[in-house]
Amino acid sequence: MLLVLCGRAAAAERPLVAGHVRDDSGHMLPGISVRLHAPDGPVVETATDESGWYRLDAAPGPYELRFSLVNFGEVTKHIVVAADVPLTVNAVLPLAFTADDVVTGRRTFRSIGEVPDPAENLIGVAGAASEGPSPRNSFRAGGSRAPPKSWRRCQGS
């Protein structure tokens, strides 16, 4: 009997903060980082499960509860955890493509006609592809067409 009472006393000191996290279309989000920040205490962290639910134990007091995941906007909620009272805090994360992309490439200009198998070897060639693949020689003296303005601009670099 004593063990049960001690267990309940310990549980009373650590109320439960729980809830679910959804995207702005209403779908549950698994893998969301959930961080509970106390003003002068340690950070308690967990992640939502495969169904978008999380749970944390916290001592009574004020907290900042943060939800975050790459490509979603971070949501911060200010909460107060009371003794002996479970607290439900749900969140909706808006979609926000914020990932940084680094693109590297050659310094020299190459005509799409010079690239072997362009579909396999080029990324982001929509501008060049809209002009159609043309062999480099078709734009030289005597060729039937003038190079597109974008190609003329790049030839000198």
According to CATH, the superfamily of the domain at 11-93 is: Immunoglobulins (2.60.40.10)
* pLDDT band at 55; cut points 50, 70, 90: very high
Q: Tokens standing for 60?
A: 């009574």
Which stretches of 14-157 are assigned E, i.e. beta strand? 16-23, 33-37, 43-47, 53-57, 61-68, 75-81, 87-88, 91-93
pLDDT at 122: 55
Q: Is the pLDDT of residue 89 over 80?
A: yes
Q: Where are the domains of the chain?
A: 11-93, 102-142
pLDDT at 84: 87
Q: Is the pLDDT of residue 20 over 60?
A: yes
Mean pLDDT value across residues 102-129: 59
More confident residue, 101 or 79: 79
Least confident of 10-24, 43-57, 94-108: 94-108
Report the chain's mean pLDDT, rounded to a whole number.
74
pLDDT at 23: 94
CA distance 67 to 77: 9
Mean pLDDT value across residues 99-104: 58
Query: How is residue 95 annotated by DSSP?
Result: B
Query: How is residue 31 annotated by DSSP?
Result: T
> Which 3 state secondary structure label does DSSP give 121?
helix
H or E, element range at 120 = helix 118-121
SS3 content of the chain, % helix, strand, coil (to 5): 25, 30, 50
Question: How large a percentage of the chain has pLDDT more than 90?
Answer: 45
Q: Tokens standing for 22?
A: 């959804």
What are the tens digits of pLDDT across the range 56-88? 999 999 999 999 998 899 999 999 999 989 999
pLDDT at 108: 61
